[in-house]
Structure 1
Amino acid sequence: MKKLMILALSAALLTGMSSAVQAIDFKARGEWLMGFGAGDGQFTSDRRIGADSRKTDTDDVLDVRQRVKLQLDAVASESLSGTVIFEIGDQVWGQNSTGGALGADGNVVELKHAYIDWTPPDSRLNFRMGIQGIGMPDAAGGSSVLNDDMVGITASYQFNENVGLTAFWIRAFNDNWASDSTYWESSDSKYANFNDNVDLFALTLPLSLEGVRLTPWVMAGMIGANAWDAMDNDLHKASYPGYSLRPYPLATASSRTGILGDTDKAYGLAFWAGLPVVVSMFDPWNIELDINYGSIESMGRYMATRYNTGESVWAGTKREGWLVKALIEYKLDWGTPGIFGWYASGDDGNVKNGSERMPTLSGCANFMSFHGDAIGWGDPRLYDKALTYAGTWGIGLRLHDMSFIADLKHSFRVAWWGGTNSPSMAKYVEHSYGWDNQTAEGPYLTTTDGLLEFNLVNTYQIYENLEASLELSYIANFVDDSTWKRSYRDDSYSKQDAWKAQLIFAYRF
């Protein structure tokens, strides 16, 4: 009898689970990308340090890769759902480690998003928990502070159709301390394996008025004294944001020069604020303005090498700066012409007081399509060369969404990039071609440097779900040789222009 009762209870539970599962509505979405790229993204062809002379431009001209992104939504009701997104790739054609060589069996599946959305009963409050995409509100050229996948909790409340409020907590880094670290943190046992978290807290206030949208926001962060190792070079990944939080693009990860010195602070404070504004009341005019500010608290001092003399000086670690960017465009029947520009604070040349460039976490500048990324995917050597505007200024023209044939659109952009950093800072950057640094925030430009960029993007809607984009881009290199070469005694380089041609097929469903 007891066994029968257990079987009956088990059957009831299974039936209940089956009913619950059947009540879930599963929705699948996805994207296939095929990219064919040719180009040269380097600004130098070779360099020499003392007797060591080598070629810096060693990448293949042609690159072919593919990527698949699959999204599965499990919807129980309007108040409860879950989402998971897997990304397969990039598979570089011919590359064994990514599964693109003969046999095609690489281990390249990534978990991009995994979160639940839920609303408390009879409430306007919405929660999202888990790995998700979070971007700080922006206008005119993309977010220069933060736009990436991360883990955390987002809470949103809509007071009415005009006013909302969003808050989030992000745990960007934790438990990534490396026992074999070359940084000062590993040599001080009081910091080992703790104080290594980076937490961010933000509030945004979306306001939608008649013809005007603005979203003032603030974000505060706490950066553990032992978190810099993970952000800089954990697992030797130079794409972490430690580069864009530190004061200067100074020494390499294997050198103690330019690495943060000792500090008694367990955590350093960070702060950002922004005000993006979009004005559409003067249709067909569209006006966008974005103001950003950011600062990182000083976390001790370090020895910075003055490379033209070999001397070292005590340098500060504080970083504080601002950015203003704008776009004005006028919509016509055949396209939308516009003018855009930006100006960001730059280093004043005194390393003792820290950096005057705005710190960033994971920006996504998109005014242009070579410096910054308008298409959003492809050969990493040929896109996203600079994700922020820190230490630069620029002005450009664009003809957006021109169309003369059905289903075919064109966008043309041209922009001048200048630097706002003092020329005297050249002697503190690691090499005399430091402006070609592609592992940090892009080129480090002084007030004597310039780059002229051209983009032409052509998009053809082959079918409703299939799109082809052809991008042609060129950057003329006007970096000032006299500023950089005279900052070194035994270091030289040969500069060159950059170019790319990129064809991407996108199938979305």
Structure 2
Amino acid sequence: MKRVCTLLLAAGMLLGAATGASAIDFKAKGQWLMGFAGGETSPLQKVRDGANKKKYNNEDQFAANQRVRLQLDAVASEALSGTVFFEIGTQAWGKAANGGALGADGNNVIKIKRAYIDWVVPQTDLKFRMGIQGVALPSKAGGSAIMDTDVAGINASYTFNENVSLTALWARPANDNYQGYLKDGNGKYHQNYLDNMDLFALMLPVTLDGFEITPWVMYGMQGENTLAGYNADNDRSWGSSDGNLAYSLRPYPVALSNQIGDTSKAYGSMFWAGLPFAITAWDPLNIEVDLNYGYVEAMGRYDAPRDGGAWSKRASTERSGWLAKALVEYKLDWGVPGIFGWYGSGDDGNPKNGSERMPSIVPMGNFTSFLGDGNYGWMWQDFALDYSGTWGLGLQVRDMSFMEDLKHTFRVAYWGGTNNASEVKYMTNSYAWAEGYGTGTSPYLTTEDGLLEFNLVNSYQMYENFDVNLELSYVANFMDSDTWEKAGARDSSFQKQDMWKAQLTFAYSF
């Protein structure tokens, strides 16, 4: 904490000096979060360890965390400003590594989350944002299932009139992270070679009376070493807290990092497209729809073992698929009842032709608040999902209020799978479906599986800037044991369990 105080003191001195020397207007905002949670977040109870079974999840069932975010805007005029966004935490109480233990002197606590400048071309409506910034691809029902995160890049937007505008984006999620060496065509060895990923997007927001639509497309390219920093143990070598590209761009959980062979391609193509729209003309009725498609070119092949390795099939790392989401709500005086649903394409049971699940970068699906990002997910296993390979149907009543300053949201949603059950035979163990669970991708559900999720979120606004949030969630697990016992040479160790959590969050925002 001493480092934090020193940083804030230095920043205050610099701001004081700068304010007196120029006409820059400094604006500050931020948020303090304090949270306490308990629960069971693993869908599996026990797995096989040699000849015995062992508990799958050995993490604590109670956690106390805190996080601080501070944003400072230096505004010169409506045409020029700069922003820096600090994040302190998340700090787990009692954990020395992040400053939560006795003495509070942990390292790596303060992070730069965003740092960018905004400027306008003189005498035009052309605006630019340059630097590390928040980028969310256009979405409506259920949040973005492809990308909603912080990333370095350039965003340019132009307003044609009050109804139509155009936004162009170049983002660089990864570069210079590969630590190995590669020989080029001239026989020279290079480090950090062919390891960049670049994304180029165009978005066309159209707003009419009672109707909104934003068609968009995004092309990407990844070098042959872009994902080389990841290994089979899910090591985030880049130090990123958002997403896991090795899971969301490749055919996991069938393809493991250490299985994938070399490729002769220097770069591989990626492509996404979306068509989100909302109909509000029939207020108080609200209709939202989001259609998405994604494709990632194969970058190497691998052997997909079957029946525990008795034999294998040469498989492709290509991944492509689609997703449709919808929400219908009707506003009443006491709350907003609604129905929501989604359907995503799933694997066809043949890894030879790759995966038929839609790929993603950093998804933030928010239909629900346990398996999704519909509440303060930072506190206890933030499962921000892409919905790939699943379908679902849910009912909700949000923002119910029977007492001043107190609101409730209740949801119930059934999750089903669209992946062919025969795909399980190519997985190395009976708990492979959970390999991607909690890494920014959906749990791997086959057509024989299901989950039933319940959420109750209560929010009390104690003061204008202070909220107390209580969430109670439960997930009934209907995974099919007969299906998953066929994985890993017919491993009979599959033992599922229900999941639940109770979390209490205190949020001070200014």
TM-score (norm 2): 0.91
Farther off after superposition, 42-51 or 237-246: 237-246
The 3-state SS of whatever aligns with 1:492 is coil
The 3-state SS of whatever aligns with 1:451 is strand
How far apart are 1:397 and its partner, in Å?
A: 0.1
Q: Counterpart amino acid of 1:224?
A: G
Farther off after superposition, 398-407 or 421-430: 421-430
Q: Which runs of 4+ in 1 moved over 6 A?
A: 17-20, 188-191
How far apart are 1:379 and its partner, in Å?
A: 3.0
1:462-501: CA deviation from partner (whole Å, max 9, x where unpaired): 0000001100000000000010113333451321000000
Contact 1:191–1:226 under 8 Å retained in 2: no
Give runs of aligned pairs for residues 202-217 of structure 1, distance below 5 A: 202-217=201-216
1:43-85: CA deviation from partner (whole Å, max 9, x where unpaired): 1111114425321121111100000000000000000000000
How far apart are 1:89 and its partner, in Å?
A: 0.5
Structure 1 CA distance for aligned equivalents of residues 361 and 106 of structure 2: 30
User: Where does residue 395 of structure 1 map in the other structure?
Assistant: 393
Contact 1:37–1:501 under 8 Å retained in 2: yes
Q: Counterpart amino acid of 1:55?
A: K
How far apart are 1:428 and its partner, in Å?
A: 1.7
Contact 2:340–2:395 under 8 Å retained in 1: yes
- Is 1:139 the counterpart of 2:140? The answer is yes
Structure 1 CA distance for aligned equivalents of residues 81 and 428 of structure 2: 50
The 3-state SS of whatever aligns with 2:386 is coil
Give runs of aligned pairs for residues 373-384 of structure 1, distance below 5 A: 373-381=373-381, 383-384=382-383
How far apart are 1:230 and its partner, in Å?
A: 3.1
User: Where does residue 165 of structure 2 map in the other structure?
Assistant: 164
Structure 1 CA distance for aligned equivalents of residues 246 and 191 of structure 2: 18
Structure 1 CA distance for aligned equivalents of residues 116 and 432 of structure 2: 40
Contact 2:253–2:433 under 8 Å retained in 1: no
Q: Counterpart amino acid of 1:249?
A: P
User: Where does residue 154 of structure 1 map in the other structure?
Assistant: 155
User: Where does residue 228 of structure 1 map in the other structure?
Assistant: 227
Contact 2:37–2:379 under 8 Å retained in 1: yes
1:13-38: CA deviation from partner (whole Å, max 9, x where unpaired): xxxx9799421000111100001111
Residues 236 and 250 of structure 1: CA distance in aligned 2, closer, same or farther (over 3 Å): farther
- Is 1:248 the counterpart of 2:252? The answer is yes
Give runs of aligned pairs for residues 177-216 of structure 1, distance below 5 A: 177-179=178-180, 192-216=191-215
TM-score (norm 1): 0.91
- Is 1:451 the counterpart of 2:455? The answer is no
1:258-316: CA deviation from partner (whole Å, max 9, x where unpaired): xx222111000000000000100001100000000000112231111113453121001
Structure 1 CA distance for aligned equivalents of residues 125 and 42 of structure 2: 51
Q: Counterpart amino acid of 2:484?
A: W
How far apart are 1:214 and its partner, in Å?
A: 0.5
Q: Counterpart amino acid of 1:489?
A: R
- Is 1:484 the counterpart of 2:476? The answer is no
Residues 508 and 349 of structure 1: CA distance in aligned 2, closer, same or farther (over 3 Å): same
Residues 302 and 251 of structure 1: CA distance in aligned 2, closer, same or farther (over 3 Å): closer
How far apart are 1:179 and its partner, in Å?
A: 2.9
Structure 1 CA distance for aligned equivalents of residues 137 and 128 of structure 2: 17
Structure 1 CA distance for aligned equivalents of residues 198 and 415 of structure 2: 33
Residues 225 and 491 of structure 1: CA distance in aligned 2, closer, same or farther (over 3 Å): farther
Q: Counterpart amino acid of 2:395?
A: L
Contact 2:229–2:238 under 8 Å retained in 1: no
- Is 1:426 the counterpart of 2:430? The answer is no
> Structure 2 unaligned runs (5+)?
1-16
Residues 126 and 506 of structure 1: CA distance in aligned 2, closer, same or farther (over 3 Å): same
Structure 1 CA distance for aligned equivalents of residues 376 and 419 of structure 2: 28
Contact 1:434–1:443 under 8 Å retained in 2: no
User: Where does residue 10 of structure 1 map in the other structure?
Assistant: none
Contact 1:418–1:449 under 8 Å retained in 2: yes
User: Where does residue 265 of structure 1 map in the other structure?
Assistant: 265
User: Where does residue 334 of structure 1 map in the other structure?
Assistant: 334
Q: Counterpart amino acid of 2:502?
A: A
Residues 497 and 292 of structure 1: CA distance in aligned 2, closer, same or farther (over 3 Å): same
Structure 2 CA distance for aligned equivalents of residues 79 and 451 of structure 1: 50
Farther off after superposition, 295-304 or 220-229: 295-304
Farther off after superposition, 19-28 or 204-213: 19-28
Contact 1:413–1:454 under 8 Å retained in 2: yes
Residues 190 and 481 of structure 1: CA distance in aligned 2, closer, same or farther (over 3 Å): farther
Structure 1 CA distance for aligned equivalents of residues 190 and 300 of structure 2: 15
Matched residues, number:
483
How far apart are 1:114 and its partner, in Å?
A: 0.2
Structure 1 CA distance for aligned equivalents of residues 239 and 421 of structure 2: 29
1:308-356: CA deviation from partner (whole Å, max 9, x where unpaired): 4531210011111000000001000000000000000000001100010
Give runs of aligned pairs for residues 27-106 of structure 1, distance below 5 A: 27-106=27-106
How far apart are 1:237 and its partner, in Å?
A: 5.9
- Is 1:415 the counterpart of 2:421? The answer is no
Residues 351 and 56 of structure 1: CA distance in aligned 2, closer, same or farther (over 3 Å): same
Contact 2:39–2:502 under 8 Å retained in 1: yes
How far apart are 1:145 and its partner, in Å?
A: 0.3
User: Where does residue 23 of structure 1 map in the other structure?
Assistant: 23
Structure 1 CA distance for aligned equivalents of residues 350 and 78 of structure 2: 56
Give the CA RMSD over aligned residues: 2.1
Give runs of aligned pairs for residues 289-328 of structure 1, distance below 5 A: 289-308=289-308, 310-328=310-328
- Is 1:288 the counterpart of 2:283? The answer is no
Contact 1:170–1:201 under 8 Å retained in 2: yes
How far apart are 1:429 and its partner, in Å?
A: 2.3
Structure 2 CA distance for aligned equivalents of residues 191 and 351 of structure 1: 33
Contact 2:181–2:190 under 8 Å retained in 1: no
Farther off after superposition, 228-237 or 342-351: 228-237
Q: Give the greater-gyration-radius structure (CA).
A: 1
The 3-state SS of whatever aligns with 1:396 is strand
> Structure 1 unaligned runs (5+)?
1-16
Structure 1 CA distance for aligned equivalents of residues 152 and 502 of structure 2: 35
Contact 1:455–1:474 under 8 Å retained in 2: yes
1:162-188: CA deviation from partner (whole Å, max 9, x where unpaired): 00000010011000003399xx99xx9
